Amino acid sequence: MLEYSVSIKYMLAGYTVFLAVPAVYLISLVIRVRNLKRDLQTMKEFQKKNPK
């Protein structure tokens, strides 16, 4: 059986990974939404400058 201090380290490492993965995913989503908004604004400006 593992010592108490070693098992605590494994538990903390597990919680760190468990929280880090969703955090990275949420940061990625925020960046993607920001880029989509910027692209949409660029397309609207381009459409105003170049109507059909």
Q: Virtual CA dihedral for 6, 11, 15, 16, nearest 10 degrees?
A: 10
The pLDDT value recorded for residue 18 is 97
Question: What is the pLDDT averaged over residues 17-42?
Answer: 98
In this prediction the pTM is 0.72
The pLDDT value recorded for residue 1 is 67
Single-letter amino acid, residue 33: V
**Which residues contact residue 10 at a Cβ distance below 8 angstroms, ignoring those fewer than 6 apart?**
2
Question: What is the pLDDT averaged over residues 29-44?
Answer: 97
pLDDT band per the 50, 70, 90 thresholds, residue 51: confident
Rounded CA-CA distance 35/29 in Å is: 10
The pLDDT value recorded for residue 8 is 92
Higher pLDDT, 50 or 39: 39
Rounded to the nearest 5 degrees, what angle is found at the Cα of 31, between the Cα atoms of 25 and 16? Answer: 30
Q: Are 10 and 2 in contact (CB under 8 A)?
A: yes
